[in-house]
Amino acid sequence: MSQATDAATLEKILAGAAAAARPAASATPAERARWLVAAADALDAAADDLVPLAHAETHLPATPRLAGELKRTTFQLRLFGEVLTDGEYLGATVDHADPDWPMGPRPDIRRVKTAIGPVLVFAASNFPFAFSVAGGDTASALAAGCPVVLKAHPGHPELSALTGRIVREALIGAGAPDGIFDVISGQEEGVTALKDPRIAAASFTGSIPGGRALFDIANARPRPIPFYGELGSVNPVVVTEAAIAARGEAVAKGYAGSFTLGAGQFCTKPGLLFLPEDHGLTETLRSALAGAAAQPMLNDRIASGYREKLAKLREVPGVDVVAESPSTSPAFTPTLLATTGKQFLEGGATVHEECFGPASLIVTYADQAELLRLLDVIEPGLTATIHGEESDADWIRPVLPALARIAGRLLWNDWPTGVTVSWAQQHGGPYPATTAPTTTSVGTAAIERFLRPIAWQGFPDALLPEPLQEANPWQLPRRTDGSR
C-alpha cells in the first residue's frame, strides 16, 4: 500500500501545476512534441526496471503482456507528437470580415482551441502502463498543453512512483516547465485534488461506483469541471446462424480466448454471447475452456469483487453453468454460464451488468425480434460485436442500429479485446461505459477532451495567437472563409 501524499506536498504539486499551465499552453506544438518523445525514450530505456516491477505488483505476465503494454504506452506518446506536428487538432478557423454576409455584415472572427488547464488523471489498475501514470490520458493532456497531476492507483504504488519520476525528469529535461507533471497517492488526497479550483478537468478509468462518485464530486464543485470517466462495459457479441454454420468452431474458440484474456480483466472483455437457439456450440465451448490454467487477478479487492458477482450470477433462476474448473482466490479458472432469452429479460441487473473477471454468459435467442428485445435491455458499453456472413446482410442490417445505440465501437467478425491506438479509434460509449459519450480515451481524438475553443473577434493581426495570424506562421491546416 502506498503512503498518502502529505498536505504540504499536495499543495506544492497543485500550485506547481497551476504555475505551469500558462507556459505549457503557450509552448509550440513542436516543443510539446519533443517533450512527449523524450518521455517515451526515457520509458523505453528503463524497460528492464519497469517491466519486472509491474509484474511483481500486478501478477500480470512480464512477457508478452507487460513488455507489449509498455511499447504501446511509448508508441502513443510518440503518436501524440505526430498529432501536434499535424496541427489539425487545433481546429483553426478564419472568417474574414464580410460586409455582404447574408446575415448582415460579418466581423473578422477567428477560432482556435487551447489547453483547458491542469488535468487530474486517476490511473487504472488493470493496465499499469497504458492506462496508468504515462498512459493515454496523460499523453493526450500533455499534448494538449495541460499540466498533469496523476493520482496513482494503489495496486501498483512502486511502479507508479518510478514511472512518475522517469516521466517528470524527461519532460523537464526536454524543456517543459517545472510543475508539468507529478504523482500523488491516497484516496482522500485524490478527492481533495479533484475539488481544488486549480484543476480544470479530470479523467478516470475504473469501476462504476468509484467513477460515479468522482463524477458527482466534479459536478458538485462551485465551478463544475469536465470529468471523463470510463466505468464499465458488458461488450455483447451477437452470432448469427450462418456464422455458426460456416465457422462455428472458430467463433467458439475465439470467444473463449477473448473473454479469458488477462483473467477477464479488460474493459473490453466480451461478457455476453448471444447465440441462436439450438446453436450446437456447447461442447465446442467446453472443449475450448477445458484445462485452462488458473490466472491470478490484479489484487485481493478485485478478486473478492469477482467472486461475489459470480456467486450472484449463479443464483439467478435459469442461469446454468456450462463450464468451470475448481479454483482458489486470488487465481481463477474461467466460468461460462448460460440462460435463455426469456430468463435474461426476467433476470434484472445481475445478468445485464458487467462481471469483471474470467466469466461470461451465453444468452440464446429464438429469432431476430427476440434478439432486438434483449439488446434493448442491456447496459450501453464500449463495444458491440457481430459475427455473421455477408450472405446474412438483410438479416443483420436491422440489428445494427440496436448495436450502434449501445456502443462506441462496432466490430465485424473480430474480438473487442484488441484496442489499437490510431487516428480513427473510438474507445467510449453511452453511460455507464463513459461519463462523456462524445469523447474517446484511446486514439488521437483523445486530445479533444483537454482543449477548449476560443473565438477572437476583430483583433489586429499582431495580437492574435500564432495559429490564427494571417501569415499562418505554424503552417497549420485551416478552414478559411468556409473553405479548407
> What pLDDT is recorded for position 1?
53
Same domain, 408 and 344: yes
Instruction: Write out pLDDT tens, residues 370-401.
Output: 999 999 999 999 999 999 999 999 999 999 99
Same domain, 469 and 386: no
Q: Is 355 a catalytic residue?
A: no
Same domain, 359 and 395: yes
Give, rounded to a whole angstrom, the gap between the first and last alpha carbons of the chain: 53
Instruction: Write out pLDDT tens, residues 307-365.
Output: 999 999 999 999 999 998 876 667 899 999 999 999 999 998 889 989 999 999 999 99
> What pLDDT is recorded for position 221?
98
Same domain, 162 and 54: yes
Task: State the cell numbers at 300.
Answer: 485481493
Residue 425 lies in a domain: no
Same domain, 256 and 219: no
Domain CATH code at residue 266: 3.40.309.10
From 69, 230, 324, 379, the catalytic residue = 230
Residues 203, 466: Cα–Cα separation, whole Å: 29
Residue 2 lies in a domain: no
Instruction: Write out pLDDT tens, residues 73-112.
Output: 999 999 999 999 999 999 999 999 999 999 999 999 999 9
Domain CATH code at residue 130: 3.40.605.10
**DSSP codes of every residue in 431-479:** TTTBS-TT--SSSGGGGGGGEEEEEEES--GGGS-GGGSTT-TT----E
Instruction: Write out pLDDT tens, residues 127-177.
Output: 999 999 999 999 999 999 999 999 999 999 999 999 999 999 999 999 999
> What pLDDT is recorded for position 326?
75
Residue 77 lies in a domain: yes
Give me the domain span that covers residue 351. Answer: 236-412
Residue 168 lies in a domain: yes
Residue 418 lies in a domain: no
Residues 3, 352: Cα–Cα separation, whole Å: 37
Same domain, 389 and 333: yes
Same domain, 119 and 168: yes
What pTM did the predictor assign? Answer: 0.94
From 57, 146, 189, 267, the catalytic residue = 267
Residues 210, 232: Cα–Cα separation, whole Å: 11
Residue where a domain terminates, one of 382, 412, 442:
412
Residue 423 lies in a domain: no
Is the torsion defined by CA of 108, 469, 463, 223 positive or negative?
positive
Same domain, 179 and 193: yes
Residue 419 lies in a domain: no
Same domain, 187 and 305: no
Name, in order, each residue with C-beta under 8 angstroms of 429's C-beta and a sequence gap of 6 or more.
233, 380, 381, 382, 383, 406, 407, 408, 409, 437
The count of other CB atoms within 10 Å of the CB of residue 404 is 11
Same domain, 365 and 470: no
Q: How many domains, the chain?
A: 2
Same domain, 269 and 207: no
Calculate the alpha carbon distances from 107 to 83, 99, 364, 383, 419 in Å.
31, 8, 61, 44, 45
Instruction: Write out pLDDT tens, residues 205-256.
Output: 999 999 999 999 999 999 999 999 999 899 999 999 999 999 999 999 999 9
Same domain, 283 and 372: yes
